[in-house]
């Protein structure tokens, strides 16, 4: 495809869009689909056909609108009205009302903190693009950034934009993306690879899935730009097999892009070649660790290996490899379009831009949000999140999944950035944010995460393999009331060993949920140990006499 054809395609689609008087956008990301939004969309289509509104009404299946708690969601005429909790039988009413007053009983106000306090960069367009149409993406300047980079910038210049943006890895570690890219760019190997890490394994995180389901082309475009910058001609997306919808849409998107020469050889008539293949994960959290992920793509057991050498020097098939997370790639197109400086003007001094979070747990507005770095946890939980479920009291918010920690009320005013979260024993992580109320026991929460780490440990290194199992046993003892202070001390000691001597990030951070709950909720541990009492009433504690015998 030449540039002219490319421009023309976008124009055509835009014109086509303008013909429509109305638009009905139904969210077809997984959460809404699980509430039958795909069937609702079908009913609306039938209804439109019946009323012969096909030429004036555009119906699209779009990506995540964020407020999953109120799903299925439907957006009428680009935000004119937003319908929530829609059911199949509402289709007729919705279509009938299209030229008239909106259906009041389904209407949700868009002028609420949940919507107006967010800032969408990575998720920009996610609820405004047909999830399965390349043309629709092109109509909104899709692949424009790739074209500009390929034709107007040298790899070095494009890299400078990423460096200037201050973007840091969104998978959790927060490593400067520009630095990573430049390391791969200067590496000298026969071949280079770009890998998109979509092995979103944190329990309670669904940002990557939502992004891939909503606007897969944006990720492909970001990867292609990365390929151009670092000099790679092959990309892989490593995605969890548990995300069938995202896989389906990605496969579809790759095929579309290949057909239109947006992937493949001589992309858009330039000398640049870049292909993308999908590799499925198979249920191993540790494969989110980059060396384990590489092993998995190579068809091996997903065991990490010691670093250095880092994948940038020696990665997939021992070639220089760039690995970034989905959200990191999602930020590339906006950075290329608006410039690194624009991106760097958002956020805090060390954490630039925005961050996508998956809000879940005991919170009213469960769903997906994107906020500028530096916003306080309190604003996220109580303002955007709408606060705690009726009748319950806030206890903690858990960030960073099994590698993170629980943050209590007293730290809620802390700004969200990489450094602050680490100082209090949690971490940014990939963006799962679980709100915990007073009906949960923090020792039980720690046990949940240790159960997770224990079963996800690959078993290669001893401290993680045995240490996580030992810690889990002790937590089991504490929660059933058979532990003494001696066990508690052993637990703290094990945390220290596992943290300092484990081979990879999984082990090194496995103790964080325990350490942070000990730090902020020590009295809950002591209550289980001394008084054989679970303050939240969650743990089934044995009677005194049973313990002794």
User: What is the closest distance, in whole angstroms, from the C-beta atom of residue 248 to another protein in the complex?
Assistant: 13
Indicate the residue among 217 and 395 with the shorter CB distance to another protein. 395
Q: Please state whether 377 falls in left (phi above 0), alpha (psi between -120 and 50) or beta.
A: alpha
Q: How far is the CB of 448 from another protein (least distance, A)?
A: 5
Closer residue to another protein, CB minimum distance, 23 or 457: 457
CA distance linking residue 269 with residue 151, whole number of Å: 10
Between 383 and 476, CB nearer to another protein? 476
> What is the rounded distance in angstroms from the CA atom of residue 302 to the CA atom of residue 284?
7
Contact predicate 37/70, CB 8 Å: no
Helix or strand holding residue 131 (H, E): none
With CA atoms as reference, report the closest residue to 253 among 350, 133, 335, 118. Answer: 133
Across the strands, what pairs with 57?
22
User: Between residues 38 and 135, which has the closer beta carbon with respect to another protein?
Assistant: 38
Q: How far is the CB of 191 from another protein (least distance, A)?
A: 14
Q: For another protein, give the closer residue by CB, 121 or 284.
A: 284
CB of 426 to another protein, least distance (A): 14
What distance in Å separates the CA atoms of residue 135 and residue 133, rounded to the nearest whole number? Answer: 5
Beta-strand pair 22-27/57-62: parallel
Closer residue to another protein in complex, CB, 106/436: 436
Interior angle at CA 416, CA 411 and CA 422, nearest 5: 75
Dist. CA 348–CA 371, nearest whole Å: 12
Half-sphere exposure of 204 (CA within 13 A, CB side): 24
Least distance from another protein to the Cβ atom of residue 544, Å: 17
Beta-bridge partners for 24: 59, 76
Looking at the Cβ atoms of 41 and 465, the one nearer to another protein is 465
Cis peptide before 309 (omega within 30 of 0): yes
CB 54 within 8 A of CB 104: no
Q: How far apart are CA 293 and CA 282, in angstroms?
A: 11
Q: How far is the CB of 20 from another protein (least distance, A)?
A: 30
Kindly state the smallest distance separating residue 10's Cβ from another protein, in Å: 32
Cβ distance to another protein smaller for residue 222 or 304: 304
Q: Containing H/E element for 367?
A: strand 367-372
Nearest distance from C-beta of residue 237 to another protein, angstroms: 13
Question: Could you tell me which residues are beta bridge partners of residue 101?
Answer: none
Nearer to another protein, 210 or 268 (CB): 210
User: In whole angstroms, how close is the CB of 486 to another protein at the nearest point?
Assistant: 9
């Amino acid at each position: 495809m030449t540039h002219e054809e490319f421009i023309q395609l976008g124009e055509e689609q835009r014109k086509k869009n303008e013909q429509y008087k109305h638009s009905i956008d139904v969210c077809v990301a997984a959460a809404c689909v699980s509430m039958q939004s795909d069937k609702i969309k079908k009913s609306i289509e039938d209804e439109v056909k019946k009323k012969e509104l096909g030429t004036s009404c555009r119906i699209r299946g779009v990506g995540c609108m964020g407020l999953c708690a109120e799903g299925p969601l439907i957006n009428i005429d680009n935000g004119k009205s937003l319908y929530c909790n829609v059911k199949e039988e509402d289709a007729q009413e919705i279509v009938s009302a299209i030229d008239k007053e909106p259906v009041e009983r389904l209407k949700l106000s868009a002028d609420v903190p949940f919507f107006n306090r967010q800032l969408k960069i990575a998720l920009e367009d996610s609820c405004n693009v047909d999830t399965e149409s390349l043309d629709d993406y092109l109509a909104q300047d899709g692949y424009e950034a790739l074209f500009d980079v390929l034709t107007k910038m040298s790899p070095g210049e494009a890299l400078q934009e990423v460096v200037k943006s201050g973007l840091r890895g969104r998978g959790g570690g927060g490593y400067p993306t520009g630095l990573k890219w430049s390391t791969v760019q200067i590496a000298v190997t026969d071949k280079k690879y770009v890998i998109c890490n979509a092995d979103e394994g944190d329990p309670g995180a669904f940002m990557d899935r939502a992004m891939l389901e909503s606007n897969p082309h944006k990720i492909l475009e970001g990867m292609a730009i990365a390929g151009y910058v670092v000099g790679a001609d092959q990309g892989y997306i490593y995605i969890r097999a548990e995300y069938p919808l995202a896989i389906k849409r990605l496969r579809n998107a790759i095929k579309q892009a290949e057909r239109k020469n947006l992937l493949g050889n001589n992309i858009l008539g330039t000398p640049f070649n870049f292909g993308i293949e999908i590799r499925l994960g198979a249920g191993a959290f540790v494969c989110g660790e980059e060396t384990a992920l590489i092993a998995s793509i190579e068809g091996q057991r997903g065991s990490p290996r010691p670093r250095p050498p880092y994948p940038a020097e020696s990665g997939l098939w021992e070639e220089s490899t760039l690995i970034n997370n989905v959200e990191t790639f999602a930020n590339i197109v906006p950075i290329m379009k608006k410039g690194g400086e624009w991106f760097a003007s958002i956020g805090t001094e060390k954490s630039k831009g925005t961050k996508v979070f998956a809000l879940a747990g005991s919170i009213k507005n469960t769903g997906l949000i994107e906020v500028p770095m530096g916003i306080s946890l309190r604003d996220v939980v109580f303002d955007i999140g709408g606060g705690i479920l009726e009748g319950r009291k806030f206890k903690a918010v858990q960030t960073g999944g099994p590698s993170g920690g629980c943050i209590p009320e007293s730290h809620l005013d802390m700004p969200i950035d990489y450094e602050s979260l680490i100082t209090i024993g949690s971490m940014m992580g990939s963006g799962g944010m679980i709100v915990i109320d007073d009906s949960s026991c923090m020792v039980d929460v720690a046990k949940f995460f240790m159960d997770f780490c224990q079963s996800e440990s690959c078993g290669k290194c001893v401290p993680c393999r045995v240490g996580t199992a030992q810690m889990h046993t002790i937590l089991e003892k504490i929660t059933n009331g058979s532990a003494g202070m001696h066990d508690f001390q052993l637990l703290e000691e094990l945390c220290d060993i596992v943290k300092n001597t484990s081979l990879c990030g999984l082990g090194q951070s496995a103790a964080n949920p325990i350490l942070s709950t000990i730090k902020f909720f020590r009295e809950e541990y002591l209550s289980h140990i001394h008084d054989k009492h679970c303050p939240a009433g969650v743990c089934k504690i044995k009677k005194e006499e049973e313990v002794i015998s």
